[in-house]
Amino acid sequence: MHDHIKKLFSSFSSSLIDDIEKNAIVQEFNAGDVIMRTGQYIKNTVLVLSGKIKIYREDNDGGEFFMYYLQPGQACAISMICATKNETSQIMAKVVEDVELVMVPLPLMDKWMMQHRSWYEFVIDTYRSRFEEVLEVVNSIAFRAMDERLEFYLKRHKDACGCSDLKLSHQEIATELNTSREVISRLLKKLEQRGAVQLHRNHIELLK
């Protein structure tokens, strides 16, 4: 496992990776599994070895507010914050593609911040990058019309998967943007007429 972790988390020192191997647990989850729920106490922070996880918030009516994806070589900043403060989770985490995770127990978080410079820098960098990403999402909601939000949403998915063929249903997009399926279908049709996307039965192809 040492080489696999080093490849994905290249900034980690050898001594940190040794500590991870001694103390952390590797777990696998299947697509569709919810591994973190709102109101749940967090006992571990996760490092992603493979697969993809969707991080989002859920309102009282079951509506979803998409925040970001977790992919190999990344960790969940929000779970880190909740863990260090011993607070309940404010987010949901659902497996999108089968994942393999390194579960780092809560007591090790603070200990490694002092013992391992590479862990300290990784945590700070994770906080910063996720803060910037969430700010982008907030800006898109506060200052953009729905058609602009939709284009921003599709671009983020394209960047996350590194592909132009997005396996997203109109209903899934509507739920995550907190609007109706009809609105999304109408806006996607406009994008198709502009030559920005090609709509297929179960996926959307980005052309620009």
- Asked if residue 149 and residue 134 are part of one domain, the reply reads no
Q: What is the CATH number of the domain that holds 189?
A: 1.10.10.10
User: 11-15, 93-97, 135-139: lowest mean pLDDT where?
Assistant: 135-139
Q: Which of 141, 169, 187 is the last residue of a domain?
A: 141
**pLDDT (tens digit, 9 = 90+) per residue, 156-165?**
888 878 889 9
What is the reported pLDDT for 81? 74
Q: Please give the model's pTM, rounded to 2 decimal places.
A: 0.75
The last residue of one of the domains, among 141, 172, 197, is 141
| Claim to verify: residue 54 and residue 77 sit in the same structural domain | yes
Q: What is the mean pLDDT of the chain?
A: 88
Please state the rounded mean pLDDT for residues 37-66.
Answer: 85
- Do 135 and 149 belong together in one domain? no
Domain that holds residue 121: 2-141
Looking at the structure, tell me whether residues 134 and 153 fall in a common domain.
no
What's the domain count of the chain? 2
Are 120 and 59 part of one and the same domain? yes
Q: Which of 115, 141, 167 is the last residue of a domain?
A: 141
For residue 33, pLDDT over 90 is answered with yes
Segment 64-74 shows an average pLDDT of: 87
Q: Is the pLDDT of residue 61 over 80?
A: no
pLDDT at 90: 81
- How many CA within 13 A on the CB side of residue 151? 14
Q: Confidence band (pLDDT; 50, 70, 90) for 83?
A: low
Shared domain for 175 and 202, answered yes or no, is yes
Question: What mean pLDDT do residues 50-76 have?
Answer: 85
Quote the pLDDT of residue 88.
80
Residues 124 and 192 occupy one common structural domain: no
96-118 per-residue burial string, b: 16 or more CB within 10 A, e: under 16: beebebbebebebbeebeeebeb
132 and 160 co-located in one domain? no
- Compute the distance between CA of residue 119 and CA of residue 38 in angstroms, rounded to an integer: 26
Judge contact between 102 and 22, C-beta under 8 A.
Answer: no
Q: Are residues 28 and 115 in the same domain?
A: yes
Which residue is listed with tokens 């990403």?
Answer: 133
Q: What is the CATH number of the domain that holds 137?
A: 2.60.120.10
Same domain for 70 and 159? no
- Residue range 86-113: average pLDDT? 88
Same domain for 38 and 127, yes or no, is yes
Confidence tier at 20 by pLDDT (50, 70, 90): very high
Task: Examine the domain organization and report whether 153 and 130 are in the same domain.
Answer: no
CA distance 148 to 135: 16
Judged against a pLDDT cut of 80, whether residue 145 lies above it is answered with yes
